[in-house]
Amino acid sequence: MGRTSKDKRDVYYRLAKENGWRARSAFKLLQLDEEFQLFQGVTRAVDLCAAPGSWSQVLSQKIGGQGSGHVVAVDLQAMAPLPGVLQIQGDITQLSTAKEIIQHFEGCPADLVVCDGAPDVTGLHDVDEYMQAQLLLAALNIATHVLKPGGCFVAKIFRGRDVTLIYSQLRVFFSSVLCAKPRSSRNSSIEAFAVCQGYDPPAGFLPDLTKPLLDHSYDPDFNQLDGPTRIIVPFVTCGDLSSYDSDRSYPLDLEDGSEYKYTPPTQPPISPPYQEACTLKKKGRLAKEIRPQDCPISTVDSMPQ
């Protein structure tokens, strides 16, 4: 596969490079903002699960005008620096990371918390949905400590079997909860975004890091909410038919007449997990599978059974 084939198959990947975004995800946040005006009046924001940093790029460009905004970005992975963005490397489900984030907003709360976190997908849908829900709840827990009243929380959500339970929990804290699907998010993916506006915790609610928002023992009856307890939130698609369709392949010369020119990634990964394999391969030292038929007879004979 040539280096241009991904540009052809994934128009948002290509446009991200051409527009200087570190990842195609930038378009998801931009399309969510077009629909919900997320950045209006925002000067302080938290970007959870931020690497490689395209949402942080969008936030630092859009909020507070002329770089006066304050963005704190957090991820497990190291992220190349971005001007005006304070970075924390850590796991958002860990108490120590949560505390570090919260201390930046003491006395000066945030207007917006976003979380585009995704676990390493296993392909086992129940496990993936559960992991995703845990990330979202960890993000929500942090949001309850740093958001100002009326603030906004946007988080990636997998629209799986138990999603109504999550909507119910979000509705406890926000006056409006919607499920949004930006046009740049593939139809084939169960990913969507919970857009929660109007932070308004219940009277007397005291954020507490020692108590997770979700009791980890899933109660099967509570999990199957129905009747009056079942919350169905509105589903909104963001970006109209004039936006590119993320599930389509496009010819390399776009319809606006612009001529195709390959653009390298804006920010190559700084320490990708495959780096060691690449170095070994370059040195010709990448281990190859040893098949018995390739071994000299004497070695095969002495191999343990």
Catalytic site positions: 156
Q: Which is nearer to ligand SAM, 147 or 155 (CB)?
A: 155
- Can you tell me the distance from the alpha carbon of 209 to that of 93, in angstroms, rounded to the nearest whole number? 10
Query: Which of 18, 91, 100, 245: binder of ligand SAM (CB under 6 A)?
Result: 91
* Cβ atoms within 10 Å, residue 269: 16
Q: Quick check: 92 binds ligand SAM (CB under 6 A)?
A: yes
Q: Quick check: 88 binds ligand SAM (CB under 6 A)?
A: no
Q: Quick check: 80 binds ligand SAM (CB under 6 A)?
A: no
Q: Quick check: 162 binds ligand SAM (CB under 6 A)?
A: no
Binding mask 240-269 for ligand SAM (x = CB under 6 A): ------------------------------
Q: Quick check: 116 binds ligand SAM (CB under 6 A)?
A: yes
Q: Which is nearer to ligand SAM, 64 or 117 (CB)?
A: 117
Q: DSSP for the chain?
A: --TTHHHHH-HHHHHHHHTT-SSTTHHHHHHHHHHH-TTTT--EEEEES-TT-HHHHHHHHHSSSTT--EEEEEESS-----TTEEEEES-TTSHHHHHHHHHTTTTS-EEEEEE-------S-HHHHHHHHHHHHHHHHHHHHHHEEEEEEEEEEEE--TTHHHHHHHHHHHEEEEEEEEETTS-TTS-EEEEEEEEE-PPTT----TTS-SS-SS--HHHHS--GGG-----EEEES-TTSPPTTS---SS-TT-PPP-----SS--SS-TTHHHHHHHHTT-------GGGS-HHHHHHS--
> Pick from 185, 191, 156: which is nearest to 243 by CA?
185
Tokens 């023992």 found at: 217
Q: Quick check: 87 binds ligand SAM (CB under 6 A)?
A: no
Q: Quick check: 49 binds ligand SAM (CB under 6 A)?
A: yes
Residues between 174 and 233 that touch ligand SAM (CB under 6 A):
none
Q: Which is nearer to ligand SAM, 108 or 121 (CB)?
A: 121
Q: Which is nearer to ligand SAM, 109 or 119 (CB)?
A: 119
Q: Quick check: 10 binds ligand SAM (CB under 6 A)?
A: no
Q: Quick check: 89 binds ligand SAM (CB under 6 A)?
A: no
Q: Quick check: 117 binds ligand SAM (CB under 6 A)?
A: yes
Q: Quick check: 25 binds ligand SAM (CB under 6 A)?
A: yes
Q: Which is nearer to ligand SAM, 126 or 283 (CB)?
A: 126
Q: Quick check: 52 binds ligand SAM (CB under 6 A)?
A: yes
Q: Quick check: 55 binds ligand SAM (CB under 6 A)?
A: yes
For residue 202, the minimal CB distance to ligand SAM (Å) is 27
User: What is the CB-side half-sphere exposure of residue 184 using CA atoms within 13 A?
Assistant: 18
Q: Quick check: 53 binds ligand SAM (CB under 6 A)?
A: yes
Q: Which is nearer to ligand SAM, 23 or 45 (CB)?
A: 23
Binding site for ligand SAM (CB under 6 A): 22-23, 25-26, 49-55, 75-77, 91-93, 116-119, 135
